[in-house]
Structure 1
Amino acid sequence: MANLAGINLALQTPFSEDGTVDYKTWERLIDQYIEAGVQGLVLGSGTGQHPYLAEEECDELYRIGIRQIDGRCNAICQSSALNFDEVIRRSKKADALGANALMILPPYLEGPSDDDGLLEFYREIDGQVGVDIIGYNIPQATGISVSPDLYLRLNGLRNFNYIKDSAGDLTTHQRYLQGGGKVLNGCDTTTVYALMAGAVGAIWGGANFAPLESVALYGHVAEGRYAEALALWKRMLPAMLHIWTHDYVPCVVAAAHHRGFGTGNVRKPLRSIDQTGKDELLVALAPLLEGGK
């Protein structure tokens, strides 16, 4: 089993102004975030605009990304897709390239939503890869909620060893933890509380613009420095609340660019935030910026 404890940064995908993937900036971003101390990078994450990337682009991002990471931190690849054969194909490719884990959404958009159907979905994937599977609970996007009872059943699969919980419901989150599985927090606004409750780490989109602070926050909690963690969290929270309650990916990308990470561009159908949005974002970032890097 891969050790995914710590901050697994849900890596933005850098785009040029014309919407093409900027692979050189991708390499540079990987180095920047590893230098900041992250324990893992999620390639092709939701924050990386996975739904708007072609399969061939993902393959290239994973190939370059895993090579650039070169064992310096965990490499997690999202291999989600609507077409089941594509999920298998993407998963096998990422596994062969050397991914430490795969993050896979349940079969959203009119796929099976009952527990037996979801279990069978992950069971078939589990039988065809030899690397850890991270289930992905984000019901606000998929319309599917992984129940704590289903999570217990999924943990019986050979490779299903983690769940990323982005729902933001701390009650369900703690029920996952009570079941004995390894939970990764995915809701920006609950991070410090999830870590204190026992989550082994986070898969974190907001870390794109606050990598040093995110790593420091995890370190404070892991070493029992809760007062320091909460003081740092007070500075981070306005920005985390802002991205969670506005256009998430455009805000994260804009904030990251403001702090020297990435190109600041998004791919259609997403739109960059306007000047009013940027002004509001800077207000939310101010407490974080006042603390420096």
Structure 2
Amino acid sequence: MFRGVYTALITPFTPDGSLDVPALERLIERQVAAGVHGIVPCGTTGEAATLTDEERAVVFRAAVTAAKGRCKVMAGVGTNDTRRAAEMAKQARMTGVDGLLVVTPYYNKPTQEGLYQHNRTISEAVPGLPLTLYNVPGRTSVSLAADTIDRLADLPDIVAIKEATADLTFDGELITRLGDRMDVISGDDPTALALWAIGGQGVISVTSNLLPEKFVAMWAAFQANDLAGARALHHELFPLFQGLFWETNPVPVKSLVAWHTGLCGDHVRLPLASLQPNTVARLKGLCDRMGVALPHAPT
């Protein structure tokens, strides 16, 4: 359903903090040209936590319009309020998205039964629209247990899970238990290739904002059983996997996309803040060593 390389899309802002829809359209065109299989607006990397529901709807509509059916659009509708998330899912459906991404509720610290009911309620609010779970305990403080995921896999429209624990033992258990009932997709770039090797079906990537062609090539090599080629691309990208988290995501990746492409600004919304000067210097050095040009970087 949602297999291959999906980009966890950044949300561009103008200097005054407003949505920059023309920049978003330019970024999506670049992703489509690179051959990604889909885009995921309004996730963690898209600064969903500081977008209003109305702004998310604007982003979803713009993404669907810009994609023009050339890649899938998976809308991030997650929040820690089940009723609000269900309403957002309905709004997303009206914009024509191909599916939903629903993050595990943060701050509330629900039980496993609460997590099950949360995802079931959202899915049932939009019957027929495929839903991808999003397990990222490093951000939310709670994790979907394997038993809970197994239960959710029995619901007809919950088709995949974005697994961002970087725990390959847990991922392996999921893949073994779920079989063809639910796809397991990487939400952690450094372990994406390893997850594919044990049966994972794709990635929702931060890095592909900057170098989408490289991630698409790595997936293509793996699909062609060219493990040496896929491994070479993994090792080439690995320093960037690390560098993009030298400060809180998405600040580094948004900055590098702006400096590399000139298609958008590097503005983020508080409480996120611009990169510290020492991080700017480190990222410039990293990109210089990797041969990633930054013609629009600040001097």
What is the rounded CA distance, in whole Å, between the counterparts of 2:272 and 2:279 in structure 1? 14
Amino acid aligned to 1:212: E
Q: Per the alignment, in what secondary structure is the counterpart of residue 45 of structure 1?
A: coil
What is the rounded CA distance, in whole Å, between the counterparts of 1:105 and 1:12 in structure 2? 17
* 1:26 corresponds to which of 18, 24, 27: 24
C-alpha distance after superposition, 1:93-143 (max 9, x if no partner): 11122111100112221242x222211111222211121111110001111
Which structure 2 segments of 5+ residues have no match? 294-299
**Partner of 1:158 in structure 2?**
156
What is the rounded CA distance, in whole Å, between the counterparts of 1:62 and 1:290 in structure 2? 30
C-alpha distance after superposition, 1:24-49 (max 9, x if no partner): 11111111110011000001121010
Contact 1:238 1:285 in 2 (8 A): no
TM-aligned CA deviation for residue 70 of structure 1:
1.4
What is the rounded CA distance, in whole Å, between the counterparts of 2:273 and 2:105 in structure 1? 26
**Partner of 1:219 in structure 2?**
220
Distance change in 2, residues 1:167/1:12 (3 Å): same
**Partner of 2:73 in structure 1?**
75
Amino acid aligned to 2:42: G
What is the rounded CA distance, in whole Å, between the counterparts of 1:125 and 1:57 in structure 2? 20
Q: Per the alignment, in what secondary structure is the counterpart of residue 238 of structure 1?
A: helix
Amino acid aligned to 1:227: A
RMSD (CA atoms): 1.7
* 2:286 corresponds to which of 284, 287, 290: 284
Amino acid aligned to 1:237: F
**Partner of 1:266 in structure 2?**
268
Contact 2:260 2:292 in 1 (8 A): no
Amino acid aligned to 2:118: F
TM-score, normalising length: structure 2: 0.92
TM-aligned CA deviation for residue 162 of structure 1:
0.4
What is the rounded CA distance, in whole Å, between the counterparts of 2:249 and 2:99 in structure 1? 24
Which aligned pairs between 1:1-293 and structure 2 lie closer than 5 A? Answer: 3-112=1-110, 114-129=111-126, 130-179=128-177, 180=179, 181-260=182-261, 261-289=263-291
Amino acid aligned to 2:265: T
Amino acid aligned to 1:278: V
**Partner of 2:297 in structure 1?**
none
What is the rounded CA distance, in whole Å, between the counterparts of 1:82 and 1:99 in structure 2? 21
Q: Where does structure 1 differ by over 6 angstroms across 4 or more consecutive aligned residues?
A: none
TM-aligned CA deviation for residue 186 of structure 1:
0.5
C-alpha distance after superposition, 1:39-73 (max 9, x if no partner): 00001121010001111111111111111111110
Amino acid aligned to 1:272: S
What is the rounded CA distance, in whole Å, between the counterparts of 1:285 and 1:155 in structure 2? 41
Contact 2:77 2:85 in 1 (8 A): yes
Amino acid aligned to 2:125: Q
What is the rounded CA distance, in whole Å, between the counterparts of 2:136 and 2:32 in structure 1? 26
TM-aligned CA deviation for residue 244 of structure 1:
3.0
Contact 1:188 1:244 in 2 (8 A): no
What is the rounded CA distance, in whole Å, between the counterparts of 2:288 and 2:4 in structure 1? 26
TM-aligned CA deviation for residue 178 of structure 1:
1.0
More deviation, 25-34/236-245: 236-245
What is the rounded CA distance, in whole Å, between the counterparts of 2:125 and 2:77 in structure 1? 13
Distance change in 2, residues 1:149/1:287 (3 Å): farther
Distance change in 2, residues 1:33/1:285 (3 Å): same
TM-aligned CA deviation for residue 290 of structure 1:
6.3
What is the rounded CA distance, in whole Å, between the counterparts of 2:81 and 2:117 in structure 1? 15
Contact 1:164 1:185 in 2 (8 A): yes
Which structure 1 segments of 5+ residues have no match? none
TM-aligned CA deviation for residue 241 of structure 1:
1.2
Contact 1:13 1:44 in 2 (8 A): yes
Amino acid aligned to 2:21: Y
Distance change in 2, residues 1:287/1:190 (3 Å): farther
